[in-house]
A and B are shown apart, each in its own frame.
Chain A
């Protein structure tokens, strides 16, 4: 019940396309859902986050869609660029811990 399931494991998208990464959780005690972006040789960094009382949050080309009843949330990257190539982690947070998904390696073809 502490797991966060993330898919796909890897994703290849053409430049200008839409990248979609999905996550699911089971524990309803989670109440904050951040996404982290990690470039090779670097630590993860917060990209965007959402709380479950909101169904969608958009920051530039990045959008989180949240479905509370289904316990699912997803990251959409519009107009994907080669610079977006990185590993993306979804996460679910409660009072005393943040649980990360296993990550999605995204590669944007030029």
Chain B
């Protein structure tokens, strides 16, 4: 158990809809990362937050947004969903703000999104 909790585990929705994925990081971790995992693209970095502030952005679509709340949990909002958004969405947390210090991210078990 990594200590990172993601909900929901599975989500099925229709194109055009909006969903929110939730992540609770490990106790004490200030950094939260969101990744999208698909079969052909591997793990794609979306966005990082550190202590409530956006820290780094990756290949995140404009239809997607995220935030980190004062209690350090994070939410990833996906809107105007398309079939291609079907994927596993992982949240990871780290004690460090910099990823080159230890490089260890603790991943949750993911939220599997299916868009029909």
Contact = CB atoms under 8 A, between A and B. Distances in A.
Interface of A: 6, 31-34, 41-46, 49, 89, 91, 93-103
Interface in B1-47: 2, 4, 33, 35, 40-45
Contact of B99 (A43, A98, A103): A98
Interface of B: 2, 4, 33, 35, 40-45, 48, 55-56, 58, 90, 92, 98-110
Contacts of A31: 100
Contact of B98 (A33, A95, A103): A95
Rank and list the top 10 A-B pairs by shortest CB-CB distance, nearest first.
Answer: A43-B107, A102-B42, A100-B43, A96-B56, A34-B103, A32-B103, A93-B99, A32-B100, A93-B103, A46-B104
B104 A96 contact: no
For the complex, would chain B's binding face be called helix, strand, loop or mixed by DSSP majority?
loop
A99 B59 CA distance: 11
Contact of A103 (B2, B43, B55, B109): B43
Nearest to B45: A97
B6 to A, nearest CB: 8
15 contacts: A31-B100, A33-B103, A34-B104, A43-B90, A44-B43, A45-B2, A46-B103, A89-B43, A94-B99, A94-B100, A97-B48, A98-B99, A98-B103, A98-B105, A102-B42
Given A96-B55, A96-B98, A97-B45, 4 more contacts: A32-B100, A89-B42, A102-B40, A102-B41
Contact of A49 (B2, B103, B106): B103
A82 B61 CA distance: 39
Given A43-B2, A43-B108, A44-B107, A96 B41 contact: no
B86 to A, nearest CB: 17
Contact of B42 (A33, A34, A95, A101): A101
Contacts of B55: 96
Nearest to B55: A96
Nearest to B38: A102
Contacts of B42: 6, 89, 100-103
